[in-house]
């Protein structure tokens, strides 16, 4: 078994994808989960789970401008990767502006099996943390079931979050992924 370790800048991830960073206890997250310490600043890199669409492997979170202060989360190469950091439990990104850019999870209100992930001019949603599988979201309603990378309408892969209450088959252009922190050097 190989490790998908952000500390050694792994070029590829393999099954299973495990972070090799120290675990800590955090009472603000589900008692069955263990948080891990992430770097102060990092890039979020995809690690395909299982035998999913390998074209989604090793991509980095960035934003795709959709309007004033709004963007969809897209996945591209390291050269355009967004620098991320946790501000409390808010997953934020440094775009060198006077206001924060936070990860917002699209509402689970349209009876869909997955929902948009957004980076908008705001603190973003709260409840983010890292465990051995990377970035997680501790949503109050318990609907978060991981990340999905799909070819969508921006011409590059786009990030979504899986909604646990729908049984679905993902399209062949998608892959379930973990988001692994890679330290900014």
Q: What is the pLDDT of residues 43-75, one digit of tens each?
A: 999 999 999 899 999 999 999 999 999 999 999
pTM of this prediction? 0.84
Whether the predicted pLDDT of 96 surpasses 70: yes
> What pLDDT, on the 0 to 100 scale, is given for residue 7?
38
50: alpha, beta or left? (left if phi > 0; alpha if psi -120 to 50): left
Whether the predicted pLDDT of 84 surpasses 60: yes
- What is the rounded distance in angstroms from the CA atom of residue 136 to the CA atom of residue 147? 9
- What is the rounded distance in angstroms from the CA atom of residue 167 to the CA atom of residue 98? 42
For the chain, give the mean pLDDT.
85
CA geometry: angle at 180 spanning 53 and 60, to 5°? 65
Query: Among candidates 125, 145, 141, which has minimal Cα distance to 133?
Result: 145
3-state secondary structure (DSSP) of residue 43 = strand
Peptide bond before residue 16 is cis, with ω within 30 degrees of 0: yes
3-state secondary structure (DSSP) of residue 77 = coil
Q: pLDDT for 124-152, tens place per residue?
A: 999 999 999 999 999 867 789 999 999 99
């Amino acid at each position: 078994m190989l490790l998908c370790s952000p500390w050694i800048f792994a070029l590829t991830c393999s099954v299973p994808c495990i972070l090799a960073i120290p675990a800590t206890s955090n009472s603000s997250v589900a008692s069955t989960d263990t948080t891990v310490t992430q770097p102060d600043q990092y890039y979020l890199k995809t690690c395909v789970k299982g035998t999913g669409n390998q074209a989604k492997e090793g991509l980095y979170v960035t934003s795709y401008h959709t309007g004033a202060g709004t963007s969809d989360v897209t996945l591209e190469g390291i050269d355009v990767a967004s620098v991320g950091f946790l501000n409390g439990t808010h997953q934020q990104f440094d775009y060198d502006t006077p206001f924060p850019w936070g990860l917002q999870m699209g509402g689970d209100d349209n009876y869909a099996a997955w929902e948009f992930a957004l980076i908008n001019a705001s603190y973003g949603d709260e409840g983010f943390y890292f465990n051995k599988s990377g970035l997680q979201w501790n949503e109050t309603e318990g609907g978060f079931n991981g990340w999905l990378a799909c070819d969508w309408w921006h011409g590059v892969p786009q990030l979504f979050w899986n909604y646990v209450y729908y049984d679905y088959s993902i399209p062949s252009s998608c892959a379930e992924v973990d988001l692994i922190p890679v330290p900014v050097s």
